[in-house]
């Protein structure tokens, strides 16, 4: 009687599948935005397009950690104006981390929180050339530079240079600030073309910056 031959199942070689996780490239533009104006929007758009970012998020602060204390209107109004200003640009968004956390807005604490929350994201932190000059004085700056890529927007009169790694982006110069806009409102002067029309309407409707 012939014995049946045992069949040995040879396992097929398994193809190892490697999942490639696409990292997100997100710009963070922090500030008081008191109010947001067209120079903010221009800089954010230019940086976002130049560096091929997925999004540029405006991040309004709650209490800026400035030595020279700056008064700002209520955060709700500043956020409402931001929403009006960015609604027609799909590149833009708003990051509410500092408003939601409250207290003094230290960039290191905020970015550490965001990196832990979104480990798949590379952050590009946008600042003006004048702010680059002050980087050595920033809270936990040596740790912060390991969390974010600093993006510097060149400014007239600033050194536009740093001992820290900074990606420089040239943006068409617009020589006015939120302070200028607030002063013009107090003086009853026009702010047309300095802020988006809907922001100007919001300021007028809510009688902001008149005192």
| Residues 96-109: tens digit of each pLDDT | 999 998 888 899 99
Q: Please check the confidence at residue 201 and state whether its pLDDT lies above 80.
A: yes
Listed range (43-52, 85-94, 96-105, 154-163) with the worst mean pLDDT: 154-163
The CATH homologous superfamily for domain 24-175 is HUPs (3.40.50.620)
| Residues 9-36: tens digit of each pLDDT | 444 444 444 334 589 999 999 999 999 9
Contact between residue 38 and residue 182 where contact means Cβ atoms under 8 Å apart: no
Higher pLDDT, 70 or 134: 134
Contact between residue 169 and residue 153 where contact means Cβ atoms under 8 Å apart: yes
Handedness of CA 151, 24, 44, 103 (dihedral sign): negative
**Model confidence at 65, in pLDDT bands (50, 70, 90)?**
low
**Model confidence at 154, in pLDDT bands (50, 70, 90)?**
confident
pLDDT for position 70: 57
pLDDT for position 13: 44
Six token digits for residue 200: 């100007």
**Model confidence at 81, in pLDDT bands (50, 70, 90)?**
very high
Average pLDDT estimate for 197-207 = 97
């Amino acid at each position: 009687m012939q014995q049946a031959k045992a069949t040995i199942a040879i396992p097929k070689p398994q193809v190892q599948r490697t999942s490639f996780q696409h990292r997100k490239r997100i710009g963070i533009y922090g500030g008081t935005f008191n109010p947001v104006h067209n120079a903010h929007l221009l800089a954010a758009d230019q940086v976002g397009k130049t560096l091929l970012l997925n999004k540029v998020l405006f991040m309004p602060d709650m209490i800026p950690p400035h030595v020279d204390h700056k008064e700002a209107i209520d955060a709700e109004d500043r956020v409402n104006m931001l929403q009006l200003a960015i609604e027609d640009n799909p590149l833009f968004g708003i990051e509410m981390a500092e408003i939601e956390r409250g207290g003094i807005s230290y960039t290191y604490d905020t970015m550490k929180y965001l990196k832990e929350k979104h480990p798949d994201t590379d952050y590009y932190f946008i600042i003006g050339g004048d702010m680059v000059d002050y980087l050595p004085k920033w809270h936990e700056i040596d740790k912060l530079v390991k969390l974010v890529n600093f993006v510097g927007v060149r400014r007239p009169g600033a050194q536009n240079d740093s001992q820290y790694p900074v990606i420089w982006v040239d943006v068409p110069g617009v020589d006015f600030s939120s302070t200028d806009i607030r002063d013009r409102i107090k003086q009853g002067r026009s702010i047309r073309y300095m802020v988006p029309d809907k922001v100007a309407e919001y300021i007028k409707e809510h009688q902001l910056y008149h005192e």
